[in-house]
Structure 1
């Protein structure tokens, strides 16, 4: 599994063996560090389905057919893995070699990374991105020590990404000097066919990327499509795999031709502004990245108007309480919650608030005023108007709420609307990482986990995301959090159903207009040119909360 350019080094019996080659020794150490043992079996790792229509297989199949013909009736086999180090094609020269190889668990769909199969000429080539030969006892897994192999990486000629690994495997005593040049030529042919298979739309994406890169004089630019990632040097130094996943999750779900994300925090904490554009439908996107200055807490406080009365409006879990706490500052706060009226005395509850409103040094916070009865909302409005204390209130989006509750909220001098988390997906990666860091554990998200977090609608907003992080930390204290570890984003929900393009565009239009009009359904319906009855029906059909 790989091409070697050095002298063959076999591992003699213990006691007189020389040190193994550096690349083999380091691979063994990586395999050990992953928790793999030499006695482990490949069969402990699950097999996944192989997509026979993939671009890699389309490019490789004629070459593999030719290799299979050349190696017929020999004890050699050809293995092909994809960019995820998963076996996607196997060709055997004879039944004997097929039986010997498959007996080790080497079958289609098997993951062949160093974490799952140790040192060999697929896993190690995939890790190092260079040709490697592994012979006999140099294999880490005991079951593989009866084989030797050459492996060669398959690098896309345009993107320079590794698309897979081509490997020739044989019994230890069957080495042949012609195998290495055969492997190199076959790998070169597959890479050439990968270029030929490049679609017209992707050629447009490459051209758009090059134009943007030239116009921006080296400022960060990346281009993304289903199986393509291009980036210039400055983008490569700035953007990590987590950031790529976050960008894909936010941009690729949009039906728009272009768009802007005014502020997004990268994995390293750098705030940036994102502009993206599709060269043509289906061709992926070109993304331009600009640095922005992060506002400090002092700047934010200086911009916040000073007001005796303030209202924070938003969905449950969107950060209303936190916003009111920031508004109150360091002052002691008397807190009241309209939810307590479900089991409490309304008269006593209101009397307690009124008694504090007469204190000019007091700061009073009343949560969930959307739950108040009309008479209670009217009484509280009057008490606030005649009082002297600072008052902050929180409410669900107003929508079609009754007059007195609406007057209570809109009568406040300062009003802040908390945007639902699903409408600021670009902030989810940085918020999730910040929440995770507060626990003090050595944990991090994989790109696939970031993609799942961004793709979930979070009906419970920040509170639900915080609960998700707490639950994840309860499961482990170190290592990588993968998409399989997530709890809420993997649950089937109505919003997970596939929508056709028209429904997707309508969902996005209604959601954006609801946000722009502060949840006011009448204004949203008027702007969209539909009746409120139709709006309600569309919201129900498309599973839009509110």
Structure 2
């Protein structure tokens, strides 16, 4: 018994240390962190709901609550024994949609179970956050019986005096029941996916079709001759979208150089997807064109291009504007603002010219207001670029309305199926790059990384790796960023939002860490820790 107590206490001490190193203080509250939507159609909730209903009936009227968290430690269902318990638990900020990692909630039997992947009990003062010390709790991981991946955490929380030796075995039995239902649902999902694949193949009369789930890959004969392992990895990235039932990728370049339209549909939540591939009439080409946005410049349609740093704003503007005169708000750090505005004004007054002004979100409100006036009377065609969400002042928002059209560039992490095409394009731009081959495992690793620096970071990765390995295939061992401890795909909603906020503030303040930390309301030590955890380069 003493050894067990020591083990638990060691787990608690290590958990406290992790929470402290993340920048969390015991006096912090869960209200400091956002709440996001919950997909009620998820595989986990589908399997857990009948079990939760049964536990709800057993515990009704008692001072207990049952909490279910998903694989990202986000709370997706809470059942309360009494209204009084509901009020106490919710007063701590524990509500559906809030993420309970050790970085956000410290030591408890959801966050610590999620961290350790094993059952944990946390009693009273063992909680890291002061607001939770009135409670005790038991937590068990829910592990998928087929994939062996963690699907969630089931927790029973209660006031410390109400501990009962029967709670822990009851929780273990409930988790076992949920895992059994996950197994049965997996078998049902496999049958559903196979039926949808057969119908798609029959309807398409041999045209390429595949079906993908976590442990399943099906393809008909025509798909087998058209696709290779790299294409399979790119198409599998489409399964990362757990919410939408269907979607279309209008143009995707396959490894063979063939450009195709890809349509996908999810038969049911958690059942995988069926993909239909329609090669475009232009057929294959030996050297695929760069999969970047193409647009014809129209002098009557002025343009605002926005996107995250590295998302390709300058590339798009160059294609739109051709031989335009480029001005950059970054230059105002070393240039005289009056002189800079005079040059911009002169260019905008040339009716035969074209003007591009980059990073307008960095302009001071006064200069942004002055530029808006000049754009209103401009006779030249013009375009501007800004960082997504960075135009926070009224002057910046007004400046963007001077453009008659808008292009919003999506971050690379939301279109990972395009990464193989970008990689081939970037390889083709290095010496002897056309002859280089990247293995399927390496491509899968590239698509598993979230690329906070977007296309710029991906281009740098490809260039550096190609320089380091001048001959032979590029393998996963050759990669730099995806193997350097940066976050992989599937960041939780909170972490993704936190990373986006840090990247935005760093750009607004020219990389100044002190000012960025002040604006975000955190210490510089916490900022450095979060940047490292979230893979932010800077």
Match status 1:326 vs 2:319: yes
SS in structure 1 of the partner of residue 436 of structure 2: strand
- In structure 2, what is the Cα distance between the partners aligned to 1:255 and 1:467? 32
Q: Tell me if the contact between 1:366 and 1:392 (Cα under 8 Å) persists in the aligned partners.
A: yes
- CA 327–334 in structure 1, closer or farther in 2 if over 3 Å, else same: same
Q: Tell me if the contact between 1:317 and 1:463 (Cα under 8 Å) persists in the aligned partners.
A: yes
Match status 1:428 vs 2:419: yes
Could you tell me which residue of structure 2 aligns to residue 480 of structure 1? 473
- TM-superposed CA distance for 1:266, in Å, is 1.0
Could you tell me which residue of structure 2 aligns to residue 393 of structure 1? 384
- CA 399–342 in structure 1, closer or farther in 2 if over 3 Å, else same: closer
Q: Does 200-209 or 475-484 show the bigger shift? A: 200-209
The equivalent position to 1:470 in structure 2, one of 429, 439, 463, is 463
Could you tell me which residue of structure 1 aligns to residue 403 of structure 2? 412
Match status 1:458 vs 2:420: no
- TM-superposed CA distance for 1:449, in Å, is 1.6
Could you tell me which residue of structure 1 aligns to residue 488 of structure 2? 496
- In structure 2, what is the Cα distance between the partners aligned to 1:277 and 1:509? 28
- In structure 1, what is the Cα distance between the partners aligned to 2:393 and 2:321? 28
- TM-superposed CA distance for 1:411, in Å, is 0.8
Could you tell me which residue of structure 1 aligns to residue 18 of structure 2? none
Q: Tell me if the contact between 1:378 and 1:405 (Cα under 8 Å) persists in the aligned partners.
A: yes
SS in structure 2 of the partner of residue 484 of structure 1: helix
Please give the residue correspondences for 1:187-226 in structure 2 after superposition, counting only pairs within 5 Å.
Answer: 201-226=189-214
- CA 455–255 in structure 1, closer or farther in 2 if over 3 Å, else same: farther
- In structure 1, what is the Cα distance between the partners aligned to 2:295 and 2:412? 25
Q: Tell me if the contact between 1:218 and 1:233 (Cα under 8 Å) persists in the aligned partners.
A: yes
Match status 1:403 vs 2:394: yes
Q: Tell me if the contact between 1:398 and 1:406 (Cα under 8 Å) persists in the aligned partners.
A: no
Residues 468-501 of structure 1 show CA distances to partners (whole Å, capped at 9, x for unaligned) of 11111111223221222111222323x43876xx
- In structure 2, what is the Cα distance between the partners aligned to 1:489 and 1:294? 34
Could you tell me which residue of structure 1 aligns to residue 176 of structure 2? none
Name structure 1 gaps, 5 residues minimum. 1-197, 512-539
- CA 491–249 in structure 1, closer or farther in 2 if over 3 Å, else same: farther
Could you tell me which residue of structure 2 aligns to residue 349 of structure 1? 340
- In structure 2, what is the Cα distance between the partners aligned to 1:208 and 1:365? 49
- CA 510–347 in structure 1, closer or farther in 2 if over 3 Å, else same: closer
- TM-superposed CA distance for 1:280, in Å, is 5.2
TM-score scaled by length of structure 2: 0.52
How many aligned positions are there? Answer: 313
- TM-superposed CA distance for 1:277, in Å, is 3.6
- TM-superposed CA distance for 1:434, in Å, is 1.0
- In structure 2, what is the Cα distance between the partners aligned to 1:482 and 1:428? 16
Q: Which has the larger radius of gyration?
A: 1
- CA 237–354 in structure 1, closer or farther in 2 if over 3 Å, else same: same
- CA 287–343 in structure 1, closer or farther in 2 if over 3 Å, else same: same
- In structure 2, what is the Cα distance between the partners aligned to 1:301 and 1:267? 21
Could you tell me which residue of structure 1 aligns to residue 306 of structure 2? 313
Name structure 2 gaps, 5 residues minimum. 1-185, 284-288, 500-529
The equivalent position to 2:366 in structure 1, one of 366, 375, 383, is 375
Could you tell me which residue of structure 2 aligns to residue 129 of structure 1? none
The equivalent position to 2:251 in structure 1, one of 239, 244, 263, is 263
Match status 1:250 vs 2:238: yes
TM-score scaled by length of structure 1: 0.51
Q: Tell me if the contact between 2:294 and 2:316 (Cα under 8 Å) persists in the aligned partners.
A: no
- In structure 2, what is the Cα distance between the partners aligned to 1:342 and 1:508? 30
Q: Tell me if the contact between 1:307 and 1:414 (Cα under 8 Å) persists in the aligned partners.
A: no
Could you tell me which residue of structure 2 aligns to residue 162 of structure 1? none
SS in structure 2 of the partner of residue 444 of structure 1: coil
- TM-superposed CA distance for 1:431, in Å, is 1.2
Q: Tell me if the contact between 2:310 and 2:456 (Cα under 8 Å) persists in the aligned partners.
A: yes
- In structure 2, what is the Cα distance between the partners aligned to 1:376 and 1:252? 42
Residues 300-322 of structure 1 show CA distances to partners (whole Å, capped at 9, x for unaligned) of 97865432633211111111111
Could you tell me which residue of structure 2 aligns to residue 535 of structure 1? none
Could you tell me which residue of structure 1 aligns to residue 278 of structure 2? 290
Could you tell me which residue of structure 2 aligns to residue 87 of structure 1? none
- In structure 1, what is the Cα distance between the partners aligned to 2:201 and 2:498? 35
- In structure 1, what is the Cα distance between the partners aligned to 2:489 and 2:408? 29
CA RMSD for the aligned pairs?
3.6
- TM-superposed CA distance for 1:399, in Å, is 5.4
- CA 397–228 in structure 1, closer or farther in 2 if over 3 Å, else same: closer
Please give the residue correspondences for 1:513-532 in structure 2 after superposition, counting only pairs within 5 Å.
Answer: none
Please give the residue correspondences for 1:174-193 in structure 2 after superposition, counting only pairs within 5 Å.
Answer: none
- CA 389–201 in structure 1, closer or farther in 2 if over 3 Å, else same: closer
- TM-superposed CA distance for 1:400, in Å, is 5.7
- TM-superposed CA distance for 1:240, in Å, is 0.9
Q: Tell me if the contact between 2:326 and 2:355 (Cα under 8 Å) persists in the aligned partners.
A: yes
- In structure 1, what is the Cα distance between the partners aligned to 2:308 and 2:327? 18
SS in structure 1 of the partner of residue 308 of structure 2: coil
- TM-superposed CA distance for 1:379, in Å, is 0.9
- TM-superposed CA distance for 1:251, in Å, is 1.4
